[in-house]
């Protein structure tokens, strides 16, 4: 997610008018006008200044300090357009991303996801959505088989801390690599439980996993094997039980993206619900 807000370049409705208006407002024409005014001698009356209470003709006063109408209109339109355009861009950049809701009535669960994320089929999960631009950012749902599981409550996993250790072990097992010089660092950030508005108990587990790898895994000398950080990700799992099955919503995102999009990603996590399926 990436919360990435797409901003398409749109031509302001007044730009066409402004372009034609500004066509005469350029440096060359302005310079020629200034030179012409400098070369034209002023009448002697214009140099004579007197203090008087007599009202002057407004037309005469305007003529003595006149700005071409096209140039004045160009300045007015440009200041309005660019100030209005900049204000709307700022407001658009600050608004939160919208969401869509995915409801699986067959397996019995639902959750919300960012509206610009796309579904990926064949990813191995029951459902999988990812950010089209930040490829490491995705959300998926996995559930146990109805024939081999007999869960009555999420508490069957033990307390939240014990469930968190199980979730982390599962992540590390899935990320095992056969490459030489690959090392993973993991840490359980938090574990908690909550009762949602549907009256069901859910566990929330947050972990961080970093992957390191050598830039030259076949090098003989240790100095030639420089260890670099491959990726640094936050994993959030929500666990719930219904229909004798264990449901897990997984959200994966790079740590730097999570800092920027935490509010939106928390909404995804908090929206996960498991539902009773009619036989």
Domain boundaries, the chain: 99-215+223-274
Mean pLDDT per 10-residue section of the chain, whose length is 279 residues? 41 43 44 47 42 42 46 51 41 60 97 97 93 96 91 96 97 87 93 97 98 76 78 98 97 97 97 92
Q: Is the pTM of this model over 0.75?
A: no
What pLDDT score does 90 carry?
Answer: 34
What is the model's pLDDT at position 26? 46
Counting other chains too, the contacts that 103-108 makes at CB distance below 8 Å and 24 or more residues apart are 104/141, 105/275, 105/277, 106/277, 107/143, 107/277, 108/242, 108/243, 108/245, 108/247, 108/274, 108/275, 108/276, 108/277
CB 143 within 8 A of CB 127: no
CATH homologous superfamily for 99-215+223-274?
Mog1/PsbP, alpha/beta/alpha sandwich (3.40.1000.10)
């Amino acid at each position: 997610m990436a919360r990435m807000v797409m901003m398409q370049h749109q031509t302001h409705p007044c730009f066409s008018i402004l372009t034609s208006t500004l066509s005469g407002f350029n440096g060359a024409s302005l310079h020629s006008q200034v030179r012409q005014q400098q070369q034209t001698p002023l009448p002697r009356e214009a140099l004579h200044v007197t203090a008087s209470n007599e009202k002057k003709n407004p037309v005469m006063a305007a003529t003595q300090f006149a700005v071409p109408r096209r140039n004045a209109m160009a300045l007015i339109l440009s200041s309005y357009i660019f100030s209005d355009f900049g204000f709307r861009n700022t407001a658009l950049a600050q608004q939160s991303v919208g969401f869509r809701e995915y409801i699986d009535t067959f397996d019995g669960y639902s959750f919300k996801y960012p509206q610009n994320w796309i579904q990926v089929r064949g990813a191995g999960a029951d459902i999988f959505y990812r950010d089209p631009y930040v490829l490491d950012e995705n959300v998926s749902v996995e559930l146990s088989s109805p024939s081999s599981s007999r869960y009555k409550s999420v508490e069957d996993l033990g307390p939240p801390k014990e469930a968190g250790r199980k979730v982390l072990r599962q992540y590390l097992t899935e990320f095992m690599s056969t490459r030489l010089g690959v090392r993973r660092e993991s840490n359980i950030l938090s574990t908690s439980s909550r009762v949602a508005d549907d009256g069901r108990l859910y566990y929330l587990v947050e972990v961080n996993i970093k992957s390191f790898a050598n830039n030259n895994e076949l090098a003989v000398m240790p100095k030639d094997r420089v260890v670099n950080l491959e990726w640094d990700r936050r994993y959030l799992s929500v666990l719930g039980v219904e229909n004798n099955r264990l449901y897990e919503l997984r959200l994966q995102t790079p740590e730097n993206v999570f800092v920027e999009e935490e509010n939106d990603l928390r909404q995804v996590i908090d929206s996960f619900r498991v539902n009773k399926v009619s036989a």
